[in-house]
Amino acid sequence: MRFLGELRHGKYVDKLDHIHPAILDQYYTTQHEVSGAEAYIDTDTIEKMIARDQETHIRHAAIDTPEEEQPFRTEQALRTFRKVLNEVTQRGIIPEGYTLDADSYNEVEVIKLGRAGKREEIQLPYEIWWPKAVKWAQGLDIMTRIQELM
For 97-134, write each residue's pLDDT tens digit.
998 988 888 899 999 888 888 888 999 999 999 999 99
For 73-106, write each residue's pLDDT tens digit.
889 999 999 999 999 999 999 999 998 988 888 8
Identify which of 59, 52, 62 has the alpha carbon closest to the alpha carbon of residue 30.
52
Q: What DSSP letter does each residue of 39-98 carry, written as one string?
A: S---HHHHHHHHHHHHGGG--SPPPPPPS-SSS-SSHHHHHHHHHHHHHHHHHT---TTS
pLDDT above 90 coverage of the chain, percent = 33
For the ranges 13-17, 30-34, 99-103, the lowest mean pLDDT is seen at 30-34
Contact yes or no for 27/35 (Cβ under 8 A): no
Please give the pLDDT value at position 65.
Answer: 81
Integer Cα distance of 139 and 85 in angstroms: 6
pLDDT band of 51, cuts 50, 70, 90: confident
Please give the pLDDT value at position 57.
Answer: 74
Please give the pLDDT value at position 30.
Answer: 52
The pLDDT of residue 5 is above 90: no
Please give the pLDDT value at position 113.
Answer: 84
What is the pLDDT of the chain when averaged over all its residues?
Answer: 82
Contact yes or no for 109/51 (Cβ under 8 A): no
